[in-house]
Amino acid sequence: MAKILIVGNPSSPLIRQRGLIGQLDGHEIFWFSAVRAELPEVQAFGLPAIFSKSFLARAVLEPLLLMHAIRLIKPDLIHVHYASKGFSAIPLARFHPLVVSTMGSDIAPTVAYRGIYAPFIKYLLDHADRITTKSLFMDETLLEIGDFAHKIERVTWGIDLNHFVLDRSTKELRKEWSIPEKEFVFFDPRAARPLYNKHLILQAFAEYLKQADIPATLLVAEFNADKKYLSQLKDLAREMNVMHKVRFIKDIPPDNMADYLSLADIVISIPSSDGFPQTLYEAMACGSFLIVSNMPQYQHVFEDGITAKFVEGDDVDSIVDGLVWAVSHSKVRQRARALGREYVELHANRQTQNELVNQMYADLIEVRG
């Protein structure tokens, strides 16, 4: 049994799940984060609560407390989730073996990899023994930062294929949201923030209702909402007189996401920038057809007009055309349903991905030993 120190945000359900993978192989997990983690069988370290919300206090104290935690724990391996760690990159870079899992936004020059953060991110990546990525696009982004090809390990993290399945019963959910039987359902499951272009989806949906013969309802997730932006979205729906056809969904417990994805005939994801979200794997596993932005990270996975429909994510007319096209091509959607399920079983099986991570740990710890 090894001692593994996780450095990551425990408020993220995905990072919580990923950070505990080592427990499956009997490893002892320790956790360092600004806000102290409260997780089963995990010894947590972090900032005193009084400092955790102060940017300045975190910038100064976090590296010092992290060094103290490393000395105290004497871990066999450190795994950092999300490469942007500010000054904490300095003590982290001194330790080996070091694994850094990139998320997408942390290495994107349009999001986190810029300004004062960029040199610290590069410093951490330079000193990592392994860098995990979820896609070929992320590999290419990394290689623009540095010569990391020999360090890259493909880990998609996967999804629970026993939970995200085809043909889940959605009768009660349809009834709960007052969606008429057999009415078409569009679903935008991404965070309620400007990055995800929900306002453009709303505008396109309003135009779709004017053009199309097939009635539809749009589900809009309010996940991780920017309150001002969310308020603007609701005002926009009222102004366009489509509020009666839109359902804003405040809370979707993780266990219920599969039901919403199964209810959706079409899932829409058109962010301005992205990595490759688990939500898309989940949608594919549940048989939803996808409308996505025409971006390289999606082009590596989907085939336009076969397994998804590409649109220009910043162009309402293109999104409208995508909605109309997808609704009218039922045979394409049926084929994509089978192909999507096949893809996730091959590339995004959580059990297989967990085994890959633990094998990576074993290999690195063996070399260190």
Same domain (yes/no): 267, 184: yes
266: closest CA among 285, 243, 245, 291?
Answer: 291
**Domain-located, residue 166:** no
**pLDDT tens digits along 312-359:** 999 999 999 999 999 999 999 999 999 999 999 999 999 999 999 999
Same domain (yes/no): 222, 298: yes
CA distance 102 to 141: 11
Same domain (yes/no): 8, 121: yes
Lowest mean pLDDT among 193-202, 267-276, 353-362: 267-276
**Domain-located, residue 291:** yes
pLDDT at 33: 94
**pLDDT tens digits along 103-143:** 988 888 877 788 888 999 999 999 999 999 999 999 999 99
pLDDT at 48: 82
pLDDT at 211: 92
| Burial track 242-276 (b if 16+ CB lie within 10 A, e otherwise) | beebbbbbeebeeeebbbbbbbbbbbbbbbebbbb
**Domain-located, residue 193:** yes
**Domain-located, residue 164:** no
Same domain (yes/no): 189, 121: no
**pLDDT tens digits along 139-158:** 999 999 999 999 999 999 99
**pLDDT tens digits along 43-60:** 999 888 777 777 787 888
Same domain (yes/no): 190, 254: yes
pLDDT at 95: 97
Same domain (yes/no): 86, 152: yes
**Domain-located, residue 121:** yes
Same domain (yes/no): 343, 357: no
pLDDT at 369: 62
Number of domains the chain is built from? 2
The mean pLDDT value for 202-215 works out to 96
The contacts of residue 75 (CB under 8 Å, 6+ apart) are 3, 4, 5, 30, 95
The mean pLDDT value for 214-220 works out to 97
Do 44 and 36 touch, CB atoms closer than 8 A? yes
Q: Which domain holds residue 242?
A: 171-347
Same domain (yes/no): 68, 180: no
Higher pLDDT: 335 or 276? It is 335
Amino acid at the residue 12: S
